[in-house]
Structure 1
């Protein structure tokens, strides 16, 4: 009799065993040491029972199997050898399923991702529900891992090398129809059909029990070596490796290792290929980069996206209609994401034509999707209809929340606040999308400072997931709780930031920009600065991003800050000279650190070497460290002063808002990534050479001294 906690077992009168995943105390079926042990024990029971003719693997939950338990992987405390043995034992069980002589069907409802997909691949037949939320795929690369239970080798033998590399490295999730087309599933059923009954019928009428790779005549399509070689395959792997390095600069071991597992596993028998995959998986799991990515992406970002930082004791606040003031790119983007989330929007500007131009921006973004077949004319029209263009304050009277997104000018923002509060109810929250002006300062124009808060979106709003929720001195906890509910409702990721000039992301990113420009003025070749920035994992170089922001705006922001350091004062003076003497202001005007010709091929301005003579005695490692250390040290100052409440908020904000290299875990994790003592030693070296901005706060020095060779912020 089966007494499993997580796996249910039954055999019907026709001799079909039903093995049902139903993990206890979890909303989804997850794979870990306990659930997998029960699953294989139950499968083995069915295999060993002579009365069982075939097996159906199913789920009692809305999804099939959501994948591996990442918390288990993050806290995995056994040796590499034990990990390898565990993987090989898993592979042996899956191979026993494939070679047991009994047909096994995966009845896939909902999600079959990661390890869940791998279990399905080891079955002889796969039926998938065509529910809109049903998806299947090997998505481990999205969290710094790759398939470790045969996924790379079974995908390879089903689809060939090109699609396998593409689908796995990009963590593609396939709909039922896409999976059917690619041969990942064998049949698709409607949600009304009984998927288990269909599985049983296949076993009784057509059931076969041989995987295609167990046929002696089978050859992998496009094997890179020997028999079965297809012209161009070796070249494909060479290009794939080169492309991966160009994209990751060797910072992401999981990408390098998955390509190696696919390449070296391709010419082998499946059993040898599974061993190759397992060895590369172990190497990946035990890398510090993978641990950082799992912790940052799965734990911290996932928790933030669920609103775990919301103050306790407040009911969920729902929103139906949002007022957005300012129909420029930011305001239009905010209106867009609200409409996409199903909320009605009033998009107001000083004239109806300007408000309509904001709607046109939304249409333009949707048109791009239409060209790619990702939406329809009907859906676009329905979306746009949710946005009401307006030039009247009175149209804001029935909104549940107001978001001001006008130009970054304090006087203008104050005027808008005063005018808007005259028409909206007293209990409506008023939020400013400012990126630099302190919320407490802006709240002085409000008659209800307790309901005044900052919601700092990032550009382009429709693509950037982060929202800084900025708490002013008088912002109430109730307002904060409601703001968190709102950000979650529009499917963004909130972090809570206490008030301060530049808040967190703008302030810290300013250090990155400042350091890049400083190095240019010191004579470091601009191309070197930009290329090193990308090598360390930043998405855009500091000079290119300065052009995007505009040098005039950077100077204006610095001018408003009464607490500039001596280094920043000197840098500001040099920026003023670049603007006034050299006429370089940024991308908008077509000339900044780069030239922007009409053909769109931007290039670094050639005259920088005559203004700041370049030298060749630069050190690339030092350049990269200066860029990252400048952000990390200032981030710690934000934590130390209370601007950021928790280290994990800084990590989430830096990854999602600044593009800080995810393999390091974020700005606070970076200290542990480098090594606490090594970080302190290198900081001192930079301080002696470049000045006080690299001096560590005393409290950080104390933390580092206290942990010795340990970790400053997180234990894993």
Structure 2
């Protein structure tokens, strides 16, 4: 069956995209071959006066390339040939002597957005599923089909670089506000709006075909002299036809190449600070933009293809591609049981976490009933939701009426009775088992017998929380990570008596909230907290041995973590870390390990980290550079510091965490290495270009890791004793 289907109506060619047997359209070799055949006909068919590209999928324009294509690059030159062919095809599309309109509904990512960029006009639906991005950087790659050249030409370098360097997706409304799309229309008016614009640009539109909401009947902009603007004729790939509405792009280019240099230089400086040289793709993207600005579109496209070839062969890209597949798998429900339908949830507690859970649930279409001890306290959830949604309004990603409609689904109460008809209640009160027992009893006294009680906890075993429950089979853990609006993972913790239907339903709700999920076993700290705690503990022990706080953080960031363990402790809260250490102590004490007592002393003396401006760092300093709070060293022996080799710090903190991940697999807390890799990458920021702790062991070599752990055990103590599962792997002779 064909992927592309052509129909001609009133001399307007409508090329519909519909990949058989798939919910989304993905760029593949077959799609590219069909597209080439279409271009060969369109270039010589004088009967066609305009072209519309349109997807027949429910929520997908073109969602990028099939990742299997990238993983299939085995020989030198494979990636180069793929990119050059893509650039040739889109350059031919752009050079068609008739206007080409992209009618976008749903996901337009990567190569899908590059197809739209090569068109002369872009119309998008103002629908929540319509999102546009160039996410190649998250795969360790650069755009491969003109994205680094056409996006800056269209919206300007200052707007284009942040999108390409972050891979962030923008909503249709935000895309319109920055000039990435030219029109927004309702979903059911997309194809009609495209027909009208095609006819208008081709000078062939009848009165009855006019889209009733198309009020602007002004003539097209005068493009005479446009190619004389400094840099424009070289930089943009759409200036050769009179059909592209490029007023904004022309203004961003006006002033020539010299005016672009500050933005590029600033981007390069920031990249060096942020990536620490660990991620080659961002620097390659900036290099592509610079090359195109200086040498013109054709040369820029070829340079982009060369950069794509270089990046595709790096180990960082290989690991990031595998990480993408792992993350994708975590968006599917791992349970085979049918989940129960849930449309409205209850949230118990309106602290930072409870309010965040309520807010993200509202945004994803859930009705939410929030309960706290009084209406004033419950009102914090409404305030948090308002601030979150208002931010979207201010970024032009949402209309005010949409904000108000979403907020209308939030109910506040001070009564447990208002949970009586809800299928699911998420408890987010303080990390105190006695408090959790109390609210569980109160909630269960009014909830339906088949309702689910989910507890948000970072360390307390679910079976311990479920002890007073009438229906422990309905109690489950849903561990959201702070800040819950941004962190992509939810750990689903199966209690000793939890029903499988409850697991399936909790996973389904989290996925519908936009999260990735892993299901883990029940033990103190579960998986993510259990592997984070040894890292923080090792950092505290290093500081006690005389290491400088800033050097400890820098060593871990040099490995690729987004923040160091000391900064993480300040952000999470010294009080929270102290509590988690207490909760986790039995696990580590049983193995003969030891916890630093300094965290507890800091907590007892009123240190809580950033939230009360008393932590490892000085939060009252007005300087741009973060300063150490030197008085804190008195809780770690004395203020005198000594040189500890950076490599020693990195190895100790990394090994103790990786070994704990191996022990979690050995103890059955996680079911497979991939689960551990997903949890580490999404829950604690393990560098994705290293693939997760288990893939890192594979890449480093199990024997090498075993040897280094044994060395550290002799030098630094029993906490480095290698997991038996690693020893078995080494003895088996596997790499």
- TM-score normalized by the length of structure 1: 0.87
Instruction: Find 2:705's aligned residue among 638, 659, 679.
Output: 679
Instruction: Find 1:670's aligned residue among 667, 685, 696.
Output: 696
Conservation of the 8 A alpha-carbon contact between 1:594 and 1:603: yes
Conservation of the 8 A alpha-carbon contact between 1:321 and 1:398: no
Tell me which residue corresponds to 1:79: 75
Tell me which residue corresponds to 1:654: 680
Instruction: Find 1:197's aligned residue among 195, 198, 202.
Output: 195
Shift of 1:499: 0.4
Tell me which residue corresponds to 2:271: 244
Alignment partners' CA distance in 2, 1:375 and 1:25: 33
Alignment partners' CA distance in 1, 2:729 and 2:683: 26
Judging changes above 3 Å, is the alpha-carbon distance between structure 1 residues 539 and 175 closer, same or farther for their aligned structure 2 residues? closer
Matching of residue 432 in structure 1 with residue 455 in structure 2? yes
Deviation track 1:498-554 (CA, whole Å, cap 9, x = no partner) reads 101111111111112111111111111111112233333323322222234444443
Shift of 1:150: 1.5
Matching of residue 637 in structure 1 with residue 643 in structure 2? no
Secondary structure (helix, strand or coil) at the match of 2:268 reads: helix
Judging changes above 3 Å, is the alpha-carbon distance between structure 1 residues 624 and 320 closer, same or farther for their aligned structure 2 residues? same
Shift of 1:371: 5.3
Tell me which residue corresponds to 2:214: none
Secondary structure (helix, strand or coil) at the match of 2:39 reads: helix
Conservation of the 8 A alpha-carbon contact between 1:458 and 1:464: yes
Secondary structure (helix, strand or coil) at the match of 1:129 reads: strand
* Number of residue-to-residue matches in the alignment: 693
Note the residue ranges of structure 1 that are not aligned, 5 or more in a row.
710-716
| Stretch deviating more after TM superposition (468-477 or 557-566) | 557-566
Shift of 1:474: 1.0
Instruction: Find 1:274's aligned residue among 291, 301, 305.
Output: 301
Alignment partners' CA distance in 2, 1:595 and 1:370: 34
Judging changes above 3 Å, is the alpha-carbon distance between structure 1 residues 204 and 564 closer, same or farther for their aligned structure 2 residues? closer
Tell me which residue corresponds to 2:545: 522
Tell me which residue corresponds to 2:231: 220
Conservation of the 8 A alpha-carbon contact between 2:142 and 2:308: yes
Alignment partners' CA distance in 2, 1:101 and 1:505: 57
Superposition CA RMSD, Å: 3.4
Conservation of the 8 A alpha-carbon contact between 1:223 and 1:233: no
Matching of residue 301 in structure 1 with residue 327 in structure 2? yes
Deviation track 1:546-599 (CA, whole Å, cap 9, x = no partner) reads 23444444344333432334898643434445556x765544554332344397
Tell me which residue corresponds to 1:447: 470
Instruction: Find 1:538's aligned residue among 547, 561, 584.
Output: 561
Matching of residue 129 in structure 1 with residue 124 in structure 2? yes
Conservation of the 8 A alpha-carbon contact between 1:32 and 1:72: no
Shift of 1:401: 1.4
Judging changes above 3 Å, is the alpha-carbon distance between structure 1 residues 272 and 448 closer, same or farther for their aligned structure 2 residues? same
Alignment partners' CA distance in 2, 1:645 and 1:148: 37
Tell me which residue corresponds to 1:573: 597
Tell me which residue corresponds to 2:39: 43
Shift of 1:288: 1.9
Instruction: Find 1:564's aligned residue among 546, 564, 588.
Output: 588
Deviation track 1:225-268 (CA, whole Å, cap 9, x = no partner) reads xx975445334322211101212222222111111111123222
Conservation of the 8 A alpha-carbon contact between 1:161 and 1:222: no
Matches within 5 A, 1:358-377: 358-366=381-389, 368-369=391-392, 372=395
| Stretch deviating more after TM superposition (318-327 or 44-53) | 44-53
Conservation of the 8 A alpha-carbon contact between 2:540 and 2:596: no
Conservation of the 8 A alpha-carbon contact between 1:505 and 1:653: yes
Shift of 1:469: 0.9
Instruction: Find 2:160's aligned residue among 159, 164, 185.
Output: 164
Alignment partners' CA distance in 2, 1:545 and 1:12: 60
Tell me which residue corresponds to 1:712: none
Judging changes above 3 Å, is the alpha-carbon distance between structure 1 residues 203 and 686 closer, same or farther for their aligned structure 2 residues? same
Conservation of the 8 A alpha-carbon contact between 1:526 and 1:604: yes
Tell me which residue corresponds to 2:492: 469
Alignment partners' CA distance in 2, 1:376 and 1:672: 49
